[in-house]
Amino acid sequence: MANSSSESINLDSLSAPQLSQVKKQLDEELEHLTSSFAQLHAAQSRFRECLRCLQDKNKSAVLRENSSILVPLTNSLYVPGTLSSAFHVIVDIGTGFYVEKELKSAADFYESKVGELGGNIRDLEAIVQGKTNNVRVIEEVLRQKMAITAHQTPPP
């Protein structure tokens, strides 16, 4: 098993309470990583939805300049608006910054974000799998130590 500084630890040399502490730390790390994993999936889904909307807009001839539209302010609040350009969109590039882009450029932006997040998800998945395997190894060593302790305890 490797700790955060990539040094090897001989699990047999640790006591049961020390193993329990290491397992607890790994469980906390796994919980955080799993939460991050879910957030990355959610972000990737939002970018895919943006990309889908752009693709639908390209197929639709209905939207023309000066068309009435509903502008989303939140997930459930929309206000009426007027489309000023049928060939440009406003793209949220992160941390509250917005940029006007042409449809193709916006689609490229979202495609790159989906791909980038896909790579991050794969990397994080490998880390989660490794930590999960480490937890299993620690649990097994802890079970063995507890079984040995139980057999060594003299009966009353």
Instruction: Express each pLDDT in 129-138 by its tens digit.
Output: 999 999 999 9
Residue 150 pLDDT > 80, yes or no? Answer: no
Between 111 and 153, residue with greater pLDDT: 111
3-state SS class at 79: strand
Q: Identify the H or E element spanning 82.
A: strand 78-82
pTM beyond 0.75: no
Q: 64 is written with which tokens?
A: 């023309």
For residues 101 and 50, is the Cβ–Cβ distance under 8 A? Answer: no
CB burial readout 92-128, b (16+ within 10 A) else e: eeeeeeeeebebeebbebbeebbeebeeebeebeeeb
The CATH number given to 23-144 is 1.10.287.370
Q: Where are the domains of the chain?
A: 23-144
Question: pLDDT tens for residues 81-96?
Answer: 988 887 888 898 888 8
Q: pLDDT confidence of 65, banded at 50, 70, 90?
A: confident
Angle, vertex CA 70, rays to CA 76 and CA 43, nearest 5 = 50
